[in-house]
Structure 1
Amino acid sequence: MNILRRVLPLLLCPALAAAPRAFAIEDLYRLKDVAHLALSPDGSKLLFEVSSQDLRRSTRATHVWMADLRGGAVRQLTFAGTSDTWPRWSADGRSFTFLSNREEGSQLWRLDMAGGEAKQVTAFGPGIADPQVVGKTVFFQSTVFPEALADEARNKAMAEKLEKGPVQAHLADGLLYRHWTSYRDFQYTHLFKAPADGGAVTALTSGPRDFPGYDQSYDVAPDGREVCVATPNGPEPARSTNVDLFLIRLDGDRTPLCITGANPAADGAPRYSPDGRWIAYKFQKVPGFESDRFRLGVYDRSAKAFRNLTEALDNPIEAFQWSADGRSLWFTVQEKGRYPLYRVDLPSGQPVRVLDGQSIREFVVAPDQASVLFVRNRVGEASEIWRCRFPGKELAKLTSFNDAVAADQVFGD
């Protein structure tokens, strides 16, 4: 009788039977994550990552997909391995590179858009991260023993000594010997370069110091002759929030030159303008205060002068990008539970809100600045890619990876 009472209403009311059910932990693992947008040089194609998870096997797989912005087709491009990430177009748009763990750890691979199999570009034993291809050179960072740097055999021998030695303990004589679950174990992050068509790896930085620092980044000048890198600066990094930007000339003395030493707080996320004249970056003003808001500034390489572009905005800057002509910067801001999009033109220095009411996690601006593509997600809405066309601000959803989950679930809002 009790069973009949529960089933009968469902038989009499089909709409009630098909009603969305409460969101459960299993449904969380059904969601796909979209990230790392890369727009082709002509603005016609968009590369991005799609990650999926398997709850029972406790695994995660990430592969590269592409959206044809003119025809509307969305298709998967990589299938091998479990981690194909960080897609980046070549300058001519005929191929793209990506990081993959399919062979020899994390290495750079290239896939020709005309077809065929992906080809391995790097084979550096310690593995690589954050690769940038400029001209015929690959720049990347890697965590190595400072005594070994680009010497793969020595790095391998020292790693095996730690792993198989009689003393199995983490040793440290200073703070910042661990970040979350990752121990330093006498290794540091350094910058390297190598020919894009294969060849010897060369270390660009050295010593018992990280270049870049933990959770920091670097950028290469458009002409490939200089690198700007962010790293903690000062005698006690564990007690300070001071991160500075350093310039490293690649055609002469490679001694890092600090350009933000006048600011005792954090400076980071450097990005060269397309013509190489400016370096845009985020910075804080209050030393030791991690919650101080990030502003957006630029450094004029010719005049060696700084400009604060967003002091009037009382919210922290998140992601930012140069326009193709180098005359403006686009950026997102944390604002009342949303992430709206702004633009600031360098000549005027006046930030303007471009797109409101959105939760933009990351974005790319079309070369003609007539549209912007972005990943939107918020409470009650899973990650998908959207496009906004200007000046009418017409919104269109380009992907539907999570529609099936959303159709039969009740998301909180």
Structure 2
Amino acid sequence: MSKYNTMDIWKAGIYMTKRKLIATDLFKLHSITNPVLAPSGKEAVFIRTIMHELDNKYYTYLHHVNLETKAVSQWTYTKEIISCPQWSNDGKSIAFLSNREEKNQLFLMSSDGGEAKKLTDLENGVSSFVWSPCSEKIWISALLKEGKTWSEKADKKEIKLPEVYVVDQMKYHMDGTGLLPKDTYKQIGWIDLNTEEIVPFKVGNYHYNLETISHDGKKLVIGVNREENQDFSFREPLLLVDVETKVETVIVDEEGYFGGVAFSKDDQYLAFVGSPCTFQNATHSEVYIYELGTGIRQSLTEGIDAPVGDYVAADFQQGGRAPSVVWTESNHLYFQLSTMGDVRLYFASLEGELYPATGEYEHVYGYDVDASGIFALVTISTSIFPGELFCQNLATGERTALTNFNETFIKDVELVEPEVVVYKGAKDWDVYGWLMKPVGYEEGQKYPLVVEIHGGPHTMYANTFSHEFQLLAAEGYGVLYVNPRGSHGYSQAFVDAVRGDYGGGDYEDIMAGLEYVVKENDWIDETRLGVTGGSYGGFMTNWIVGHTNRFKAAVTQRSISNWVSFYGVSDVGYYLTPWQIGADMTDIDKLWNASPLKYAANIDTPLLILHSENDYRCPIEQGQQLYITLKAMGKETSFVRFPEASHNLSRTGLPNLRIERLKQITGWFKKYI
């Protein structure tokens, strides 16, 4: 346990001669996530993730904390990725998913200690699971080939010849997965822990998603879309299923996302998070309540003009999975809300009470709440605090630090706390952001500035730790990062305003922020400016250098350069393009006018193009087109391809490639700025 009683370890008088942060400090950081309370409320488990430099892999370890003594102990030591730890209802066992044998399989560990036991050996692994309240069986969902049973084992000695892949639907590939398996469906069953036999429950040629089970064990909630053609279907109806009769009751069936379901402790209500398609993928998520006795459904958060959930764009936390909602015994609820650059834990009652349970200027990226509602476990990060686990009294707000894994890093490394900036953007709307001074800043000196642009566009920069931003500051740059229109956390009108206006008001917001900080801060050398961003941020970087020569160097990452080709090659292109740009292939002119490639002749800024070879979201041809076009025009450019990397290179890519990416960015700015 840390000797400090608050998260402000960096304020605890432990200043020494500190060094500058470097790219490989990623290997010294610990990501603390997934706190899960035991039914007794007296103990909990959580996950610690590290990047291993020599093995070039991520490893996670299950840890236990005794909440009475505050003692923390490590429970697993195998080199693996662990996820989704869950306690049995009797508190005697922990189940979790592990990839220690490549595919995610279900493992069981006694809460008294000892080695974990593998419960499944399925060809495609286990997708998700939930304990039965009796603690004698576990419900699972797993991919199953049509015509196969879970008892059939794959012949590992069989020589598999390459097979053609016949495409007959539009949703056939996915970033991070590749080609989706053919004739394979997610099915639901349960494991008898006495016999370890898997009993099928929901099978057939549909994907069944397992949501939750009632506390009496009599009702399941599942998600399934049984439409024959789902190319333009963006729904997954939630169904309440009687375990004994299998009779189904529809909870919600409409376009949009609905999930994260939880039963109230008395099984009278369901709570879940959902976002209809009112503004397509820019629609705010809300907390919904469904009363089982009456079938009445209502939004609990419709009075809040901010999205439920965590929409932070950052590069450090690994594998964090926070629950959508958590009930207490008093039928009160807790959930995350992204608002004004924070992610805060919120309280709600069925009578309409609604207020924040945690403070401002921080990122609550994980949590669990005791059934009594007296305290919560929270994992928290700030701009100069990578993140640890805390116990918070929900009545007083008092916190106790339970872990201190990153204490040495904080003691050793000089970090820069950004200042909040607020200025007027397009349409005279307020735009919020942050400005970091370079490490070693001295009054009266001039310094270069790098503008960072997040992806999405419907995510947000936040009061959270960013290794990349701190690295740029350590390299001697000021860093400006803002939330232009399209960003979450401010209002529904604000997040929706970018749709149909890419390169319009969003571009004005970013450039207005630059001009504002240049005017207000005489330390910024406006002749030495850089800009970078990924995904939507890559699109905007491309757009910026095609519309202004304000920047001396630029780095575009996993970008979009051509909406015409993006429509057909991206895993989401055929529907995201009309959602975001407002046109499809029947209006080529509109797509081309919104494409940065059209303005390549105007680009005079030296442009580094970074792209992952296995990026299915913004395929590498987007970077290729831009590079070849610029090179043919004699422009200053370079193209770096990252093998074995997907769209999420900067967050979950191979460790050596993440380090190389940072070196490429800082090297380009050093060369041209």
TM-score (normalizing by structure 1)? 0.85
Query: Hey, what does 1:300 align to over in structure 2?
Result: 291
- Aligned counterpart, 2:413: 409
| Cross-structure match for 1:350 | 353
The sequence identity of aligned pairs, in percent, is 19
Q: Which residue of 2 aligns with 1:207?
A: 204
Please say if residues 104 and 125 of structure 1, whose CA atoms lie closer than 8 Å, have aligned partners that are also in contact. no
Closer, same or farther: CA 371–300 of 1 in aligned 2, 3 Å: same
Q: Closer, same or farther in 2 for the Cα pair 1:326/1:144, shift >3 Å?
A: farther
Secondary structure, in 3 states, of the residue corresponding to 2:409? helix
Does the 8 Å CA contact 2:272/2:325 hold for their aligned counterparts?
A: no
Provide the residue aligned with 1:242 in structure 2: 235
1:18 Cα offset (Å): 5.9
- For the 8 Å contact 2:64–2:75, the answer to whether it is kept is yes
Residue aligning to 2:319: none
Measured after TM superposition, the shift of residue 100 of structure 1 is 2.8
Deviation at 1:237, TM superposition (A): 3.5
> CA contact under 8 A between 1:121 and 1:197: conserved in structure 2?
no
Q: Answer yes or no: is 1:170 the counterpart of 2:159.
A: no
> CA–CA distance in 2 between the matches of 1:224 and 1:259?
18
- Whether the aligned pair in 1 keeps the contact of 2:169 and 2:231 (CA below 8 Å) is no
> What is the aligned partner in structure 2 of residue 309 from structure 1?
300
**Residue 317 of structure 1: CA displacement?**
0.8
Separation (CA, whole Å) in 1 of partners of 2:255 and 2:369:
33
What is the aligned counterpart of 2:215 among 202, 205, 222? Answer: 222
> Alpha-carbon deviation of 1:48?
0.5
Higher strand share: 1
- Residues in 1 aligned to 2:393 and 2:49: alpha-carbon distance in whole angstroms: 27
Seen in structure 2, the aligned counterparts of structure 1 residues 316 and 42 have a Cα distance that, compared at 3 Å, is same
* Secondary structure of residue in 2 paired with 1:108: strand
Deviations 1:330-371 (A, max 9, x none): 11100011112211111x123122222131111111232221
Deviation at 1:257, TM superposition (A): 4.4
Offset from partner CA, 1:199-258 (integer Å, 9 cap, x none): 43122222332112xxxx51122222322123456555443433321223221246x543
**What pairs with 1:6-155 in structure 2 (closer than 5 Å)?**
19-102=17-100, 105-134=103-132, 135=134, 136-153=136-153
- Further displaced range: 358-367 or 99-108: 99-108
Larger Rg: 2
What's the counterpart of residue 8 of structure 1? none
CA gap 1:193/1:301 in 2 versus in 1, 3 angstroms: same
Give the Cα separation in 1 of the matches to 2:383 and 2:149: 45
CA distance in structure 1 between the partners assigned to 2:170 and 2:339 by the alignment: 35
SS at match of 1:176: coil
SS, match of residue 341 in structure 1: strand
> What amino acid maps onto 2:238 in structure 1?
L
SS at match of 2:169: coil
Instruction: Tell me, in whole angstroms, the C-alpha distance in 2 between the residues paired with 1:95 and 1:151.
Output: 25
Q: How many residues align?
A: 385
Alignment of 1:235-274 (within 5 A): 236-253=229-246, 257-261=249-253, 263-274=254-265
Match for residue 602 of structure 2? none
The one-letter code sitting in structure 1 at the alignment partner of 2:222 is V
Residues 317 and 334 of structure 1 are in contact (CA less than 8 Å); yes or no, is this contact kept in structure 2? yes
What's the offset of the Cα at 1:20? Answer: 2.6
Q: Retained in 2: the 8 A contact 1:41–1:92?
A: yes
Structure 2: distance between partners of 1:104 and 1:402:
29
The answer to whether the Cα contact below 8 Å between 1:274 and 1:322 also exists between their aligned partners in 2 is no
Residues 199, 397 of structure 1: CA spacing in aligned structure 2 closer, same or farther, 3 A cutoff? closer
- In the superposition, relative to structure 1, how do residues 232 and 384 fare at CA in structure 2: closer, same or farther (>3 Å)? farther
Report the 3-state secondary structure (helix = DSSP H, G, I; strand = E; otherwise coil) of the residue aligned with 1:391: coil
| Distance 1:353-1:248 versus aligned 2 partners, 3 A rule | same
CA distance in 2, matches of 1:294, 1:201: 35
* Deviation, structure 1 residue 310: 0.5
Deviation at 1:149, TM superposition (A): 4.2
- AA aligned opposite 1:352: Y
Using the alignment, how far apart are the partners of 2:26 and 2:101 within structure 1? 30
**8 A contact 2:261–2:324 mirrored in 1:** no
> Any idea what SS the aligned residue of 1:266 has?
strand
User: Which runs of 5 or more structure 2 residues have no equivalent in the other structure?
Assistant: 1-14, 310-322, 419-673
Whether the 8 Å contact between 2:119 and 2:196 is mirrored in structure 1 is no
Deviations 1:57-114 (A, max 9, x none): 2111111101111112111011234233322222222332222334584332222233
1:267-314 CA deviation, whole Å, 9 max, x = no partner? 222112222221111122334611100010111112111121110011
Distance in 2 (CA, whole Å) between partners of 1:191 and 1:32 is: 35
Closer/same/farther in 2, CA of residues 160 and 288 from structure 1, 3 Å limit: farther
What is the SS of the residue equivalent to 1:29? Answer: helix
Contact 1:133-1:196 within 8 A present in 2 as well:
no
Q: Is the 8 A contact 2:79 2:100 kept in 1?
A: yes
Report if aligned partners of 1:266, 1:285 keep a CA contact under 8 Å in 2.
yes
Q: 1:360 to 1:142 in 2, by over 3 A?
A: same
Task: Report SS of the residue matched to 1:355.
Answer: coil
Matches within 5 A, 1:178-193: 178-182=173-177, 183-186=179-182, 187-193=184-190
Choose between structure 1 and 2 for higher RCO, CA contacts under 8 A separated by at least 6 residues.
2
Do the aligned partners of 1:273 and 1:326 also contact (CA within 8 Å) in 2? no
Q: Quick check: 90-99 or 67-76, which moved more?
A: 90-99
Q: Structure 2: how far apart are the matches of 1:282 and 1:116?
A: 37
1:393 is matched with which residue? 397
Alignment partner, residue 345 of structure 2: 341
Opposite residue 118 of structure 2, the aligned amino acid is Q
SS in 2 for 1:204: strand
